[in-house]
Each structure stands twice: as structure tokens, then as C-alpha cells.
Amino acid sequence: MDGNTHNLDRYGLEVLNSDECLSLLETRSVGRIAVFGFANPMIVPINYAVDHHTIVFRTGPGTKLWESATQDSRVAFEVDELDENEMEAWSVSLTGRAERITDQGVIARLEGLGLRNWVKGAEAFWFRVTPSIIEGRRLVQK
């Protein structure tokens, strides 16, 4: 991506386009997801993969994420790389709705992605978030 000219936002951060955002999402495997269908919204870490410009993840019954995702609720999702020593940073944020994946052919393909869940037992079902908005920023070194 270097060599591209980026717009800067009012605080001097590079504004990443959606292709750059998706490319960065593919470099990581843990993000943070927030659900909103509750009196007390929470952000939690989650293992994810990128599949055809969407985010896929697994979760299971008993989690807030599960409760929200099965209600087809809005989620926000964020991935970043923040090096506190190097002062290098990028962040990609998106919002969309989580939908349960039920197509067994799709599930079989996703199982082959090698997505590893840190939380064992919470892998019962696959969900997909199709971004309605995706935004990214990168801190420019001075």
C-alpha cells in the first residue's frame, strides 16, 4: 500500500480506502466485537477470518455475542495493530449485522480456513458480518 497517496483526516491520520481496510483485516486473526442489543453493551475479543469481503467467526450459546448475533443485531467490529514502542498504528473499524450461516456447503468450506478459536467450546455455530460501513486510519510517522 505504500506509495499510494492518502487523504489525511483533520488530525493528520491517513484515511484508508476499503480495499486497504480489507487487506489489513486479512493480516490479523483476533479482533474486537461490540453488540448493542442490551442495556449494557460490551466489547469482547474474538477470533475471526475474512471470507469474500466479509468477517466470519464462531460462537456458541450462552454468550452475549451469541444472543445478539442470533437476533440479527447490529455489531461493530475492529481490528488494529498498535505498537506502543514504535508509535506505529493502524485501525480498521466496520459495522454491520451478524447473520448465522446455515448452508452446510459454506460451513464445510469455512471449516477449512483454519480459524482457531481460543475459547474452546464456543465454536458451535458460524456467523457472518457483511460490512455496511468500513473505515480505516493509519498513524503517519513523523
- Give the footprint of a second copy on this chain (CB under 8 A): 10-13, 29-30, 32, 34, 36, 40-45, 60, 62-63, 74, 76-78, 80, 82, 84, 87, 89, 91, 93-95, 118-122, 132-133, 135, 139
Cα–Cα distances (Å) from 135 to 9, 76, 105, 114, in that order, read 12, 11, 31, 26
Q: Which residues lie across from 46 on neighbouring strands?
A: 31
Between 109 and 132, name the residue whose CB sits nearer to a second copy.
132
Q: CB of residue 111 vs a second copy: minimum separation in angstroms? A: 20
Between 52 and 120, name the residue whose CB sits nearer to a second copy.
120
Inter-residue contact 60 to 102 (CB < 8 Å):
no
Between 13 and 110, name the residue whose CB sits nearer to a second copy.
13
* In the block, residue with C-alpha cell 482457531: 116
Q: CB of residue 62 vs a second copy: minimum separation in angstroms? A: 5
Between 76 and 106, name the residue whose CB sits nearer to a second copy.
76
Q: CB of residue 96 vs a second copy: minimum separation in angstroms? A: 9
Q: Is 53 left (phi over 0), alpha (psi -120 to 50) or beta?
A: left
Inter-residue contact 67 to 37 (CB < 8 Å):
yes
